[in-house]
């Protein structure tokens, strides 16, 4: 297990390095550059722009800028925002809580509904419920997240007035119930695709398990169907879902970016788009690396849990 974990860690570090190189190059080679925000007003002279470039280190060769940024990041200094003049880690820390809240609640909702639909679809294979669940999953996977978010706002906020149209809480009322009320809309939107994915994978996994010999043997012994389902079928069907959960982190993050923008949710997704529009490269690179760490950490945890559940993988 130690060698397995070490190998995964080394692979993750290599991937992080590749992500940092590609991200840094794309940002700095894109048209405009970080100085465009200062030159937009037309009030600064070229001498002023050159002085700002010298202060920010933007006049050095690109490889030197990358190495200096990488060395500072390794030491824990992720830079200072061009826009707010605050440390990047502080800015990310003030927004990560909202994103994690949205991701965790939507994941929990998707897992509960998706697992229930998948199990019931496997037990009642080719039934009316299974057919409707399959059609519903295909529709959910086809609906754009931003469009579904706008529909939820139009119907339940503008039309019926049941849900808030955006933000994390009402100004002046930060109570738990108020925050929960604001969370319902974006949570449902973000959980839509995840629910469809979970239901399909759970159905396939359950169909594979319930046809195994040990399940038929348990039925032959006269065990109650509920016991067979919960103690034998469901627990073994969850093993492949461990990997799915880890690999589903990128989908959640990309969905959170769109959902946070539609619902003006103050998370990392909205911060990422705002930072790109402002050419705030330190914040953009910080969010990019932080997101890459979350994705690789999710995959690493999934591999580790799967290795514990199935020792053959750890020895492979």
Lookup: tokens for 193: 């695709």
Helices (H), the chain: 2-29, 36-39, 46-56, 62-74, 88-123, 128-142, 145-152, 176-210, 213-220, 225-227, 235-247, 249-262, 268-277, 281-309, 311-315
Q: What is the pLDDT at residue 132?
A: 92
What residues are paired with 87 via a beta bridge? 80
What are the Cα distances from residue 238, in Å, to 203, 204, 262? Answer: 11, 11, 33
Distance CA 305, CA 159 (A): 45
Question: How confident is the model over 66-81, as pLDDT tens digits?
Answer: 888 888 888 888 888 8
Pick the more confident residue, 57 or 149: 149
Provide the b/e sequence for 239-277 (b: ≥16 CB within 10 Å). Answer: ebbbbbbbebbeebbebbbbbbbbbebbbbbbbbeebee
Share of the chain above pLDDT 90, in %: 3
Mean pLDDT of 270-280: 84
What are the Cα distances from residue 280, in Å, to 71, 80, 159? Answer: 19, 9, 37
**Number of residues that this document lists for the chain:** 316
Q: What is the pLDDT at residue 10?
A: 82
Say whether pLDDT at 2 is over 70: no
Confidence band of 135 (pLDDT split at 50, 70, 90) = very high
Q: What is the pLDDT at residue 151?
A: 92
Q: Is 85 left (phi over 0), alpha (psi -120 to 50) or beta?
A: left
Question: How confident is the model over 106-121, as pLDDT tens digits?
Answer: 888 988 898 889 888 8
Question: How confident is the model over 161-205, as pLDDT tens digits?
Answer: 888 888 888 877 778 888 888 889 899 998 888 888 888 888 888
**Where do the domains of the chain lie, and which CATH numbers do they carry?**
1-75 (no CATH), 98-278 (1.10.3720.10)
Say whether pLDDT at 308 is over 80: no
Spatial contact of 87 and 72, defined as CB atoms under 8 Å apart: no
Mean pLDDT of 285-300: 82
What are the Cα distances from residue 242, in Å, to 210, 228, 298? Answer: 19, 21, 10
Spatial contact of 69 and 24, defined as CB atoms under 8 Å apart: yes
Mean pLDDT of 143-172: 86
What are the Cα distances from residue 266, in Å, to 97, 207, 283, 307? Answer: 9, 41, 15, 37
Mean pLDDT of 142-160: 89
Q: What is the pLDDT at residue 42?
A: 62
Distance CA 73, CA 40 (A): 29
Q: Whose structure tokens read 């959170």?
A: 256
Q: What is the pLDDT at residue 23?
A: 86
Spatial contact of 194 and 253, defined as CB atoms under 8 Å apart: no
* pTM listed for this prediction: 0.78
Q: What is the pLDDT at residue 281?
A: 84
Mean pLDDT across the chain, nearest whole number? Answer: 81
Helix axes 249-262, 176-210, angle to 10 degrees: 150
Confidence band of 8 (pLDDT split at 50, 70, 90) = confident
């Amino acid at each position: 297990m130690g060698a397995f974990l070490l190998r995964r860690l080394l692979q993750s570090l290599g991937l992080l390095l590749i992500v940092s190189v590609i991200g840094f190059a794309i940002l700095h080679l894109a048209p405009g550059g970080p100085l465009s925000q200062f030159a937009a007003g037309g009030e600064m002279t070229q001498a002023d722009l050159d002085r700002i470039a010298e202060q920010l280190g933007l006049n050095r060769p690109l490889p030197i800028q990358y190495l200096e940024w990488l060395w500072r990041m390794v030491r824990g200094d992720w830079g200072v925002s061009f826009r707010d003049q605050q440390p990047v880690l502080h800015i990310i820390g003030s927004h990560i809580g909202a994103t994690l809240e949205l991701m965790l609640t939507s994941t929990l909702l998707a897992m509960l509904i998706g697992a229930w639909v998948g199990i019931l679809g496997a037990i009642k294979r080719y039934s009316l419920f299974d057919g409707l669940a399959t059609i519903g999953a295909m529709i959910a996977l086809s609906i754009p997240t931003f469009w579904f978010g706008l529909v939820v706002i139009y119907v339940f906020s503008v039309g019926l007035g049941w849900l808030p149209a955006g933000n994390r809480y009402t100004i002046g009322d930060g109570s738990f119930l108020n925050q929960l009320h604001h969370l319902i809309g974006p949570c449902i939107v973000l959980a839509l695709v995840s629910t469809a994915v979970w239901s399909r994978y759970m159905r396939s996994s359950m169909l594979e398990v319930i046809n195994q010999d040990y399940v038929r043997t348990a039925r032959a012994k006269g065990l109650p169907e509920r016991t067979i389902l919960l103690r034998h079928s469901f627990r073994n069907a969850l093993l492949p879902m461990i990997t799915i959960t880890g690999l589903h982190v990128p989908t959640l993050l990309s969905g959170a970016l769109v959902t946070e923008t539609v619902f003006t949710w103050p998370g990392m997704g909205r911060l990422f788009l705002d930072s790109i529009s402002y050419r705030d490269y330190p914040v953009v690179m910080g969010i990019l690396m932080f997101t890459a760490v979350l994705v690789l950490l999710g995959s690493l945890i999934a591999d580790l849990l799967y290795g514990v559940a199935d020792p053959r993988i750890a020895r492979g």
